[in-house]
């Protein structure tokens, strides 16, 4: 995947926040008297990473141009970054991973909607890098309370609906876990796909309308995809469903995915079958206007 221009200001803010989370004892340093702020001092990170204090200060201030992979990895080890957080650092530094693809409207293809249909009665949807929902099968369409197709197309975004829509929010059995994880995944995706012009409007609207989003976003958590995540939802039609959340690439460079919710137990399997039966008069799948490839609309 192509590299992109660095975002050194965001990189510096992320490193400062992470530095504040690491205690001297975590990295084998003795206590050094009273500290005005929690976490490591800049000179301690520089010492652990084997770099100059001035240079590390510039890195946190967004002034250190073209840091090498080796130095960024050393800083990551000093700050005890997870693999996901280390990748986030490399993306922000412009070293790996960012997408430079043109941000045309995603085109939903015939083979993709065929997958949505064949996955019934399991909920499945197609989404962009910014979590905009472009198409879904009827099990997904009716899982989260009201009919998804009745939602304004501009608002058909998983993050927006889960943080701001009461009906969607009420389907979450563990809202704090899900929403904190979602904010962390948004932060990771925004860095990797930041050339998508949708980001400023989406993040600005979330900050304006959801104090909960602001709280989680400002924690600077970075979350990647974790295969086999267990999710618990409360359907108004069939009751609680426990599902395994899977996110599968359609176009890795553009961040386009299909998400699938498969039953975690036999009870959920029966309830998803019942949900599909209850809404069986609806089309097997639907998509946003203008999102279908010509082969589907011609």
pLDDT (0 to 100) of residue 10: 92
- Helices then strands, counting H and E runs in the chain, come out as 14, 6
The rounded mean pLDDT for the chain is: 90
Are 34 and 74 members of one domain? Answer: yes
Domain co-membership, 157 together with 278: yes
**Overall domain count for the chain:** 2
Q: Does residue 103 lie in a domain region?
A: no
Res 217 pLDDT > 50: yes
Whole-angstrom Cα distance, residue 286 to residue 282? 9
Per residue in 47-100, pLDDT (tens digit) is 999 999 999 999 999 988 888 899 999 999 999 999 889 989 998 998 775 555
The residue segments making up the domain with residue 73 are 8-92
Contacts 24+ apart (CB under 8 A), 77-81: 77/48, 77/49, 78/27, 78/40, 78/45, 78/48, 78/49, 79/15, 79/18, 79/19, 79/22, 79/40, 79/45, 80/22, 80/26, 80/27, 81/18
Do 198 and 140 fall within a single domain? yes
Let me know whether 149 and 209 are in one domain. yes
295 neighbors 110 (Cβ within 8 angstroms): yes
pLDDT band at residue 294 under the 50/70/90 scheme: low
C-alpha 292/C-alpha 92 separation (Å) is: 33
57 and 117 part of one domain? no
Per the omega criterion (within 30 degrees of 0), is the bond before 283 cis? no
pLDDT band with cut points at 50, 70 and 90 for residue 222:
very high
How many other CB atoms sit within 10 Å of the CB of residue 175? Answer: 14
Q: Are 19 and 138 found together in one domain? A: no
Residue 296 pLDDT: 53
Per-residue confidence (pLDDT) for residue 204, from 0 to 100: 96
CATH number at residue 44: 1.10.260.40
Quick one: pLDDT at residue 250? Answer: 93
Judgement on whether residues 14 and 76 belong to the same structural domain of the protein: yes
The answer on 39 and 146 residing in a single domain is no
Report the predicted TM-score, pTM, of the whole model to 2 decimal places. 0.81
pLDDT tens-digit map of 99-150 = 555 455 688 999 999 999 999 999 999 999 999 999 999 999 999 988 999 9
End-to-end CA distance of the chain: 33
Say if 198 falls within a structural domain. yes
Return the pLDDT at 115. 96
Average pLDDT over residues 235-258: 94
**What is the token pair recorded at 4?**
């992109």
Residue among 249, 190, 256 nearest 222 (CA): 190
Q: Report the DSSP beta bridge partners of residue 258.
A: 126, 248
pLDDT at 246: 94
């Amino acid at each position: 995947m192509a590299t992109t221009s660095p975002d050194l200001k965001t990189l510096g803010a992320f490193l400062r926040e992470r530095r504040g989370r690491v205690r001297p004892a975590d990295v084998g340093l003795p206590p050094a008297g009273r500290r005005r702020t929690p976490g490591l001092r800049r000179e301690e990170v520089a010492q652990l990473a084997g770099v100059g204090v001035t240079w590390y200060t510039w890195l946190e201030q967004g002034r250190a141009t073209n840091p090498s992979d080796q130095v960024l990895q050393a800083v990551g080890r000093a700050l005890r970054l997870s693999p996901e957080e280390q990748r986030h650092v490399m993306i922000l530094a412009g070293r790996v991973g960012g997408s430079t693809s043109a941000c045309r409207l995603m085109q939903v293809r015939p083979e993709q909607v065929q997958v949505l249909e064949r996955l019934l009665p399991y909920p499945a949807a197609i989404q962009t890098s910014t979590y905009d929902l472009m198409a879904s099968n009827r099990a997904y369409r009716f899982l989260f309370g009201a009919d998804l197709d009745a939602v304004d197309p501009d608002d058909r975004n998983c993050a927006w609906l889960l943080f701001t829509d009461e009906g969607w929010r009420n389907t979450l059995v563990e809202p704090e876990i899900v929403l904190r994880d979602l904010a962390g995944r948004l932060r990771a995706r925004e860095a990797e796909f930041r050339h998508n012009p949708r980001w400023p409007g989406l993040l600005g609207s979330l900050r304006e309308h959801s104090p909960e989003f602001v709280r989680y976003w400002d924690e600077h958590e970075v979350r990647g995809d974790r295969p086999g995540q267990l999710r618990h939802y409360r359907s108004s039609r069939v009751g609680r469903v426990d599902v395994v959340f899977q996110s599968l690439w359609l176009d890795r460079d553009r961040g386009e995915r299909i998400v699938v919710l498969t039953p975690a137990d036999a009870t959920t399997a029966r309830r998803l079958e019942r949900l599909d039966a209850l809404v069986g008069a609806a089309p097997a799948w639907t998509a946003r206007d203008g999102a279908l490839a010509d082969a589907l609309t011609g």
